[in-house]
Amino acid sequence: MPLCVQQVTTIYVDKDIVVVDKPSGLLSVPGKNPLNKDCLITRVQQQYADAQIVHRLDMDTSGVMVLARGKANLSALSRQFQERQIQKHYLAWVYGVLQEDAGEVNLPLRCDWPNRPKQMVDHELGKPSLTRFEVLSRKPELFQTRVLLKPVTGRSHQLRVHMAELGHPISGCEFYAHPMALAQAQRLQLHAWKLSLRHPSTGAMQTHAAPTIF
């Protein structure tokens, strides 16, 4: 895996949390292969040694992530994720022209074990998974639509699978896009734009955003 040369940018930091902008092409945590030790948490801990991973973004997904500083803050933030109190907004370009201005995809997901890390829809064994979407703009001449994605649940590859099942795979997605959608971009067109959370110490609501890149 090539080294990700883009830097991790700090968006916000205090004694309890660190919020960063993860570049595409960087793992959130170390991979199993010894060559894959370069990752977001390793880089952040070089500056903030007490930073700990609370959630992850796929390697190909860019955008905002929050890290906890210390065990107490890790527990508090993890609880918010588990109880679905964290609001997440993603931006994406998808293949095709969506006709609906807004909607939702409610399809249960589970791991496609023979083809890991891919996920699949399974109405018997899958875990409940819900994604809401809004159309931001359409480019019929490029056969693409820019959408705002709001996952209610946080399953692995949820946004990728749900949009593919809708018939509009995310452009540049190597796992779920057909050849025409894959060819629309050199990287996955998925960006974690905004993250809203309750500060683990003050209890105040905070919204942090990573600069939009597409």
Residues involved in catalysis: 58
* Cα–Cα distance measured from residue 4 to residue 6, given in angstroms and rounded to the nearest whole number: 6
Residue among 149, 125, 146, 124 nearest 137 (CA): 146
Smallest Cα–Cα separation from 99: which of 60, 50, 52, 133?
133
Q: Supply φ then ψ for residue 199, to 5 degrees.
A: -60, 130
On whether the CB atoms of residues 80 and 197 are closer than 8 A, the answer is yes
Of 140, 188, 142, which Cα lies nearest the Cα of 164? 188
User: How far apart, in whole angstroms, are the C-alpha atoms of residue 30 and residue 40?
Assistant: 8
